[in-house]
Amino acid sequence: MASQRFYIKNLYPVVSAILMVLPVFNSAGLCSLPHPVSPAAIILSIPDPDREDSILQFNQVGSFGLHVNGIRAAIRTNSTGFITSYSYRNFDGYRAHNNDYSHNFDLDFETAPAAHSNLRLALHYLSGVQKRPGSLTRSEFDSVPFHADPRAVSRDEKRITQKGQLDLGYDLKFGRSLNQKIAISGNGQIEYFERSTKEFKITTRYIMGLKANYVYTFHLWNRSSEFTAGWELFHQPERKEEYENYSGQQSDQLEQIEVENTTIASCYLSENFEVAPKKLFLLLTGRYDNVIYRVAEQTGPSRSDKKNYNALSPEISLNYKVFRSITLFTSWEMDFKNPTDKELESPDPGFLYNQALDPQVTRTLKAGVRGSLTRRGSARFFTSLRYDALLYWSRISNEIVRYEIFGDEYYRNAAQTNRLGVKLHGRVEIIRDLTFSLAYTYSHNVYSAYTAMSWEETSPGNITTVSRDFTGNTEPAIPRHNLNLTLGYELPVGKKCGIFARLNYHKSSGFWMDDANSEKSGAYDLVNTLLGVNIKSGHLFLTVSGGVNNLFDRIYVVNANINSANRRFYDAGSPRDFTGSVNLGYTF
């Protein structure tokens, strides 16, 4: 499916480095972070690229052969912006058969060809290899948690990725008061994957996308109103070749060639209306998606198949400003999720697509509050506070659930799932430069109706199917409780130097490993630390930092390989590791 890119803004300076280096690897599946939650491993006090021209050379080293090196340059004028970066990452891995490396290049160019218009061009290239260690049984995890699955080693399970992407976008504001806007964007992408599992698979994928939307802001009955209409088109042809896997190498024996096409056409409308002046706002949204999958074999038995999914997804939400600093909000939405081409792969060799897999439909009700408070003047303690709290309830029909058979992934439907959750987040400045933040989530997710044919390994090592009733069980791989606490301090030392420190605590409850709730991981807690210094002299700036993750060397399960037929559920998180970075930059 179409790749997604995530942008983080205004968390200066700590998160700017994570934005620049880590998400690229994660989006391509080439970076296994050592901890689910940790303070920033790379700290850069870099200039804001929207304001200053600069060049930066960044370096990070860490335990288990980790090193990241790269360079980044930014140039901006009144009407033009240019940012480019290159980075290389190598990681030997804390588990056996878990090493990876990757090269990444990005270029973003933005200009204003005319008044009230904006043109953007972005290029992205990534190339890398990641070895897969597989998952362990409970007995293996208890005795040797950082070993690899022997089957993954014998197959040399890995993923080789090469990807190039071009994005173009143009938007224009017009009208007497510039209250209308048109935005058009398109993207093209070429992806090449080699994946060695039971077979050696080669996939060549071409992606083409086009988006257009129109926004009209006006007043109706002395109330502000914003109307939006949009349209999206996505097309993805791909070719898949399957060969025998000869110890991680492609054999000469071609097993199958498949040609697949995915087409998604979508349109949407939304209206954001001010019901009560500067107090109550109503948002109405409707989206329609039509998804078509086609697949055909180019070798015997030369079969073909087609799947078509379509649905309307409405949403209604209300925002009420009790005071200037406190907002109450609530919403109801229905979300449609079609199976991806990967999820449609059939466990039955008699079919190309899984004939029993239906789309997932989620109905969600949310309610919450958000607010902020700033004390001005001579206040010394608790000068600022930001918080938000959310309560949600979801009912999912035909939830798409993963299961695994000897390393191959397939999917089935759970008839109905109920989810109840709470999310809390807050940040307070205790005294000047000393901040404390809290994030907590509570998740109660239960299958309210779910029977399925379960693939299970018998004692002689054979795979059989057994009818199971999972009604009333808890969803696997989702902890009931997650708590994250962070204490941060920044101390100015003169006019050219600053010291920063972070102390992070993460607590997670255990989670179930399969739909049958037959095994459960243990709860764990992690402590992560970071200390660094920023120095700026004239046009030069330097950041040096070091940290320790998993300070008390806990052994814990970071991920669940859920519903494994031979009960290989367990993936260990990183033991204690050390990181350090030296980053040097220059502003023009």
Task: Tell whether the model's pLDDT for residue 31 goes beyond 50.
Answer: no
Q: What's the whole-number average pLDDT of the chain? A: 90
Residue 1 lies in a domain: no
Residue 167 is predicted with a pLDDT of 98
CA distances from 236 to 204, 208, 408 (A): 10, 6, 23
Q: Find the mean pLDDT for residues 288-294.
A: 97
Residue 562 lies in a domain: yes
Give the 3-state secondary structure of 490-526. Answer: EEEECCCEEEEEEEEEEEECCCECCCCCCCECCCEEE
Residue 124 domain boundaries:
14-587
Residue 130 lies in a domain: yes
Task: In whole angstroms, give the CA distance from residue 236 to residue 208.
Answer: 6
Higher-scoring residue by pLDDT: 11, 152: 152
Residue 558 lies in a domain: yes
Task: Tell whether the model's pLDDT for residue 532 goes beyond 80.
Answer: yes
Residue 5 lies in a domain: no
Taking alpha carbons only, the member of 422, 399, 2, 446 closest to residue 207 is 2
Q: Which residues contact 128 (CB under 8 A, 6 or more apart)?
A: 25, 28, 30, 89, 100, 101, 102, 103, 104, 160, 161
Torsion of CA 337, 338, 344, 348, to 10 degrees: 90
Residue 20 is predicted with a pLDDT of 31
Residue 4 lies in a domain: no
Residue 3 lies in a domain: no
CATH number at residue 374: 2.40.170.20
- pLDDT tens digit sequence for 187-203: 999 999 999 999 999 99
Residue 365 is predicted with a pLDDT of 98
Q: What percent of the chain has pLDDT over 70?
A: 91
What is the domain count for the chain?
1
Task: In whole angstroms, give the CA distance from residue 468 to residue 456.
Answer: 11
Task: Tell whether the model's pLDDT for residue 2 goes beyond 60.
Answer: no
Q: What is the DSSP string of 62-99?
A: ETTTEEEEEEEEEEE-SSEEEEEEEEEEEE--SSTT--
Residue 21 is predicted with a pLDDT of 33
Residue 192 lies in a domain: yes
Q: How confident is the model at residue 376 (pLDDT cuts 50, 70, 90)?
A: low
The kind and range of the H/E element at 383 are strand 381-405
Residue 480 near residue 509, CB atoms below 8 Å: yes
Task: In whole angstroms, give the CA distance from residue 497 to residue 481.
Answer: 40
- pLDDT tens digit sequence for 406-444: 888 999 999 999 999 999 999 999 988 899 999 999 999
Residue 36 is predicted with a pLDDT of 36
Scored b (16 or more CB within 10 A) or e, 172-185 reads bbeeeeeebbebeb
